[in-house]
Amino acid sequence: MKGLFLRFLNLFMPRVTVRPEIGFAELLLYGWRFTVWQRYSLALRHLLGVEMKRPMSILDVGASGIGIAAYLDCARFEVYVTDLKATELKSVVRSNFYRLDARGHNALTLIERLVADANSLPFRDGAFDAVTAVAMLEHIPRTQRSRTAEELMRVARHLVVAYLPAESEGRHFDILYNEAYERRFARHDINTEEHLSAGHASETELYELFPGSRLVAVQNGYVWQTTMILELYPVLRRLVGILYATILRWFDGRPPFYARVLVWQVVGDQQLTRRTPRRSTAYAREQREDKVAEA
């Protein structure tokens, strides 16, 4: 029975996960974690336009679980996720149990998980077609962001896509959310505290970190604040997506904006070179294949 249920879900997943626009299917599958889906969807639209004859390899840095793999068609993408904390990567096993690839196999076999520091990624230069950093850079202290940016660009073969709260508006709405969180739980939100402690990046800083990149201002601050606060209440959480799809989406394209999506593309000889030898993704694949052969 479980196998039939998984295959039924698989009929919808490839279609749903490659469309970053909100619709009935997105509300059904991701409505209970709408704000997480939204930030990934803002990054996805910059990846899905890239045409490749083979599955695109993506490194999701600071994925905190399954990351972007939850929203991708397994037949078109090969996903690697990294996080600094091993406990975050263990959640992949729990959150990805229902994903199937085109052959009906659990998609977890297509996801490589690795504990790694974003300032020293253990991959060769240009190891991945694309590198994503969704809601990650704002956790890096300002003094370390230059090194993090270098690493993201170094391992990217084609492009880097990042999502992060930015500018004084991002800080303003993070403070408001933190106050609402404290009223609800009598303590501050750990993630938001890290945002405020690390310092919100300005557009000028981001252009300096990723030369030649382009920035897109996204998410009206008041809309973002409303959806985030509503998700603090379990009873209201599943209604957030519906509220957004019917009302809030019409206000979401107006300033003040909470976040920025950064897109950096490799042009000519712009590819950075590594400072020290690092293990390649090919090595990781060979190790996995050896383990399967031994089994």
19-46: pLDDT as tens digits: 556 666 666 667 678 898 899 989 888 8
Whether 232 maps to a domain, the answer reads: no
8-state DSSP, 31: G
What is the pLDDT at residue 46?
87
From the CB of residue 246, how many other CB atoms can be counted at a distance below 10 Å? 9
Percent of the chain's residues with pLDDT above 90: 50
Distance, CA of 227 to CA of 33 (rounded, Å)? 10
Position 287 pLDDT exceeds 50: no
Angle at 278 between CA 276 and CA 284, to 5 degrees: 180
Q: How confident is the model at residue 258 (pLDDT cuts 50, 70, 90)?
A: very high
Whether 58 maps to a domain, the answer reads: yes
From the CB of residue 211, how many other CB atoms can be counted at a distance below 10 Å? 10
Whether 248 maps to a domain, the answer reads: no
Whether 195 maps to a domain, the answer reads: no
Distance, CA of 153 to CA of 84 (rounded, Å)? 19
- What H or E segment, with its residue span, contains residue 132? strand 128-134
Which domain range does residue 43 map to?
2-165+203-220+259-284
CATH number at residue 278: 3.40.50.150
Whether 158 maps to a domain, the answer reads: yes
Which residue matches tokens 């500018």? 167
In this prediction the pTM is 0.81
Q: From residue 133, how far is each of 160, 205, 216, 243, 271 by CA, in Å?
A: 8, 16, 15, 27, 18
Distance, CA of 106 to CA of 65 (rounded, Å)? 16
Whether 69 maps to a domain, the answer reads: yes
How many domains does one find in the chain?
Answer: 1
Q: Is 77 exposed, middle or buried (0-12, 13-18, 19+ CB in 10 A)?
A: buried
